[in-house]
Amino acid sequence: DGSDQNFDYMFKLLIIGNSSVGKTSFLFRYADDSFSNSFVSTVGIDFKVKTVYRNDKRVKLQIW
């Protein structure tokens, strides 16, 4: 859930690159562990939230 306030650190990450290089595929693979061969070019912005644990700390990643 993107509104969860229970974390030690929060980072906002922005993925940038040329069109059709796999930014959306990377985002979905990392955040959801999913992959699809049938993505259509993104119009607008994709956004995912992933929580990871590093050194006993809960880290929230907002990935754009």
Using one digit for the tens of pLDDT, what is the confidence trace for 7-52? 999 999 999 999 889 999 999 999 998 888 777 787 788 899 999 9
Angle (CA) 58-63-64 rounded to 5° is 160
- Is 1 part of any domain? no
Using one digit for the tens of pLDDT, what is the confidence trace for 40-60?
787 788 899 999 999 999 999
What is the span of the domain harbouring residue 56?
A: 9-63
Provide the pLDDT confidence category of residue 1 given band limits of 50, 70 and 90.
very low
Q: Which residues of 34-63 are buried (b: 16+ CB within 10 A; e: fewer)?
A: eeeeeeeeeeeeeebeeeeeeeeeeebbeb
Query: What's the domain count of the chain?
Result: 1
Q: Is position 55 within any domain? A: yes
d(CA 34, CA 39): 12
Q: Would the pTM count as exceeding 0.85? A: no
Instruction: Decide if 47 is inside a domain.
Output: yes
